[in-house]
Amino acid sequence: MTNTLQIIKTFGILSFALMLTQHALGQKPNQWKDIIFTEILPDPTPRVGLPEAEYIELSNRSDHDINLKDWKINDSGSSFVFPDIVLNAGAYLIVSANSSLFTSYGVSVGSKSVPSLNNDNDLIRLFDSAGVSIDSLHYFNSWYDRDYKDGGWALELIDPMNICSGKSNWAVSEDDDGGTPGIANSVLAEKPDFTGPFLQSAIPIDATKIQLTFNEPLAITVPDPTSFHFEPPLLIAEIAFSTASLNALHISLNQSLQQKTPYSIQLSNVFDCAGNDIHPEYNKLNFALPENALTGDVVINEILFNPKPGGVDFIELFNASDKFIDLQNWSMATVTDQVISDRHNIKNNNFLLNPHDYFVLTEDVDVLLSDYQNGNAEKIFQGSLPKMNDDAGNIIVVNAADSVIDHFDYAEDMQSIFIKNPEGVSLERISTTTASSDITNWSSASSNSGFATPGYENSNSVAGLVVSDHPISVEPSSFIPVSGQPAFTRIHYRFGQPGYVANVTIHDERGRIIKHIASNELLGTDGYLRWDGDQDDGYRARTGYYLIHVVIFDATGSTTTFNEGVAVASKF
């Protein structure tokens, strides 16, 4: 009786009735993953070798033939109902709105109602005639290597027997034509799953329901409530899979979540469909009840619109409020003649931006981190951006309700006058409470920060900055080069405004310059320069007292000089 109730709970009463009918007729009931998606071509342009048309390839991985009459493929926009057609065991079927173009490649079927595949990402699902979910695929443009993102290449499933993995089990076709519709995939290989699922997000849908998202499908049996541990404790009313896929669970609560209250969830005994228990390093997350964002709650905090040669643009957002804000269905766009255009989604799925936290969007994370190795990889995400001209333009941030949350008009002449080549230099916001439209609230990222600070505090930030009457200090005042503890000294600076340029030199007791530390270096508001006790000629400085001579000036020509002493010591 328990097994019967579980089947009804998982598949529904109509599906259970169909299973009984199939059993009475001697037919095998349809099982999840009997038929699977094995190949897709979302963007057929420019053509590589295949017909210039989208297609979806299905494969029957069961041991019996299956009649697809009244089965459905759908996405969020459209649905295709299969005619009376049998997919033999082990065979392939090409589904396309232009199915006549693929008859020479194998058995094909389709009509104009076949879902059009989005280039950026899409969720396609396969249902049998009773509405039972048989397979689903949520793909993203980020699954393509950079060299194949412009179109013409199919994504292929690597291991059809590995029915659990997502992105890791898909690859760009290696066939010269760009894909292998109707035949075995070019990337076909064994790739078994020995890794437990990762908990990727925990997002409240409302005050009494939480959605948990995983990196791969879970086992079809709903986990027991004892598998979920909340802090502060929360009482669970019901657990169910999302209607979209087995990658998401919905947890209904017996109580309401409170705004501005941080919660955590930790999982145990949650298995993927291969039987692996949840990964111990990815079984815990923090979450909170999201609130609606108002203008000024989330701001454009940094922007790189003129990247290095071969580099990529990025836009950094900062949550300047004390709210937890869900970025799902937010977008970035430009404004032309007061009309919003070139709109790109920031996140298609739920994503909580915590209070006073950063979110960076770029078209290639690896390239950005290669150019700015100090970037915070945990805060940088891959996606599409509006086109940004190298000289001037604008960016707006629009929330899910289509309200403009921030608007920034940028221009190359906003860069510091001391920047000779603006390529690869970002514009940073100085104050998160001053309007984006105030051009004095922006400055070039400092040279000693690497000319950009994606994912962490701006080099020009003045938030919480306490400035003393003496902005230059040296610590420690004595050190032993190479072998000492400490083995170097730091020349700290802290200014009330950005845009200062520094020349820093080390002088011996006769006043001679032995080391140039900085030459026309653009500084941020807070940071340090370092001296290791070396000289310009490569030799170590002798034991004794030295003068650190600091000259700073700004765009107005105002110049200030500081002198600080430091001692180079030695061991006796």
CB 515 within 8 Å of CB 536: yes
**High-pLDDT (> 90) share of the chain, %:** 76
Which tens digit of pLDDT belongs to each residue from 351-387?
899 999 999 999 999 999 999 999 999 999 999 999 9
Q: What is the pLDDT of residue 375?
A: 94
Q: Under the phi-then-psi rule, with left for phi > 0, alpha for psi from -120 to 50, and beta for the rest, what region is 203?
A: beta
Q: What is the pLDDT of residue 466?
A: 63
* Count of all residues that appear for the chain in the document: 572
Which tens digit of pLDDT belongs to each residue from 436-462?
999 989 999 999 899 999 999 999 887
Q: What is the mean pLDDT of residues 401-408?
A: 95
Q: What is the pLDDT of residue 189?
A: 94
Q: pTM of this prediction?
A: 0.67
Q: What is the mean pLDDT of residues 45-57?
A: 96
Backbone angles phi, psi at 418, to 5 degrees: -85, -5
Q: What is the pLDDT of residue 483?
A: 77
Pairing relationship of beta strands 284-287 and 298-304 according to DSSP bridges: unpaired
Q: Distance of alpha carbon 566 from its chain centroid, rounded?
A: 45
Which tens digit of pLDDT belongs to each residue from 76-95?
889 999 999 999 999 999 99
390's enclosing H/E stretch is none
Which tens digit of pLDDT belongs to each residue from 388-402?
999 999 999 999 999
Q: Is the pLDDT assigned to residue 572 strictly greater than 80?
A: no
Q: What is the pLDDT of residue 493?
A: 93
Which tens digit of pLDDT belongs to each residue from 495-545?
988 889 999 999 999 999 999 999 999 999 988 999 999 999 999 999 999
Confidence band of 1 (pLDDT split at 50, 70, 90) = very low
Token pair for residue 66?
Answer: 């299956």
Q: What is the DSSP string of 99-161?
A: GGGGTTTS-EE--TTSPPPPSSEEEEEEE-TT--EEEEEEEEGGGS-GGGTTSS--EEES-TT
Residue 461 Cα distances to 167, 441, 457, 497, angstroms: 38, 10, 7, 9
> Which residue in 38, 54, 35 sits closest to 183, CA to CA?
38
Q: Is the pLDDT assigned to residue 476 strictly greater than 50?
A: yes
- Tokens 């396969």 found at: 126
